[in-house]
Each structure stands twice: as C-alpha cells, then as structure tokens.
A and B are shown apart, each in its own frame.
Chain A
C-alpha cells in the first residue's frame, strides 16, 4: 500500500497523471473512429483498438485507488465509501440485467456501459456524503 502523502501532494500526483490519461483516451477514441471500421477492418486491428481504448480507463481506476491511499484520512473515507456503494449498485445492476439476458427477456446489452454507470453512481455517492448525514 502506498503511504499517506497528505491532501495536497496526493492531489498533485493524481492530476499529473489523470489529465494525460484523459488526453490519451480521447486521442485513442478519435483515432479508432477514423482508422477502425467494424465491418471491414481485420480482427487484430479492432482487438488492438479495443485494448488501447480500455487501457487508459483501467489506468485511471488504478489512479483513483492510489489517490485514495495517499490522500488525507477524511477524503479517503469518503472516496472508499462511495467506491463501495457504487460497486454494490453496479454489481446489482449487472446481476439484474444479466438475469434478464439469461432468460432472453432483453437482448444483448453492451457490458461497456456498466463502466460509465459505475463512475456516475460513484460521483453521485461522493457528492451525497458532502450534503447529507454524519460520516462517523
């Protein structure tokens, strides 16, 4: 586990890598839209761009966890609570939608969208702690 650096140092370390990751993600998405054609491109090319698209997102998840470990205790508590809640909600959504798919109630749902769903729920949970209730 990374050691605690304090709020300011952790924030700086987080932002130093977060924005390049966002820039890389946008560049890869735009590049993929231009270069890859789902119908005509070879499988190796679409597979490569799939991995390249996911890589910055996976990196950002690791960045979020590292920031939680390095920041001050109250921020870490809020982040981890929001992370746990959003993980539970997202997993519940996956099980519900997955059950529907299992019984062919709904046709294919792109698993990809559970990622943005998780981040949306995480953001809402993080803000909710700011507005409501006693933390400890």
Chain B
C-alpha cells in the first residue's frame, strides 16, 4: 500500500522519531510504513490519518484500485 506519510511528516517538520513518539510506536515502525515495507492495521492507519487531519484515503492509496474516470 502506498502512502504520503513522508510528505506529510516533512510538511510538519517532524522527524521519524517525533512521529513515532506521537503514535506510541517504534521509529522502525514509522520507517517501515513510509517505505511500504509494512502496512499498518486499521486502528494505526486511523491514528496516523487523524494526526495529520486527513482521511485514511488521503493518506493511503491502494495501488490495485482501478483509476477513476475523474482521475483520467
């Protein structure tokens, strides 16, 4: 699953450690999610989206999802 967490984090000026602290996960967790090595559970995905004031769909994108006509 692709995501824009790295971009959102950079906009806030947060380090991976700072984001990890706020989510109460390890820094390695944040790195793994950002690099696509690990897909978070729904509760964690909701917590990430909530932290950035966005919806889950805005933060995480399903690469297998069909491209909508509007996007085309």
User: Which residues from chain A sit less than 8 Å from chain B, CB to CB?
Assistant: 6-9, 71-75, 77-78, 130, 133-136
Instruction: Mark each residue of chain B from 26 to 40: 1 if its CB lies under 8 Å from any CB of chain A, else 0.
Output: 101100110011111
Identify whether the interface residues of A are mostly helix, strand, loop, or mixed: helix
Q: Chain B interface residue count: which class? A: 10 to 19
A-B contact pairs, 28 of them (CB 8 A): A6-B24, A7-B20, A7-B24, A7-B25, A7-B29, A8-B24, A9-B24, A72-B24, A72-B25, A72-B26, A72-B44, A73-B25, A73-B29, A73-B41, A73-B44, A74-B25, A74-B26, A74-B38, A74-B40, A75-B25, A75-B28, A77-B38, A130-B28, A134-B36, A134-B37, A135-B32, A136-B38, A136-B39
CB distance from B39 to the nearest CB of A (A): 5
Identify whether the interface residues of B are mostly helix, strand, loop, or mixed: loop
Alpha-carbon distance between A133 and B20 when the two chains are bound, in angstroms: 21
Alpha-carbon distance between A74 and B24 when the two chains are bound, in angstroms: 11
Choose from A75, A134, A135 the contact partner of B26 (Cβ within 8 Å).
Answer: A75
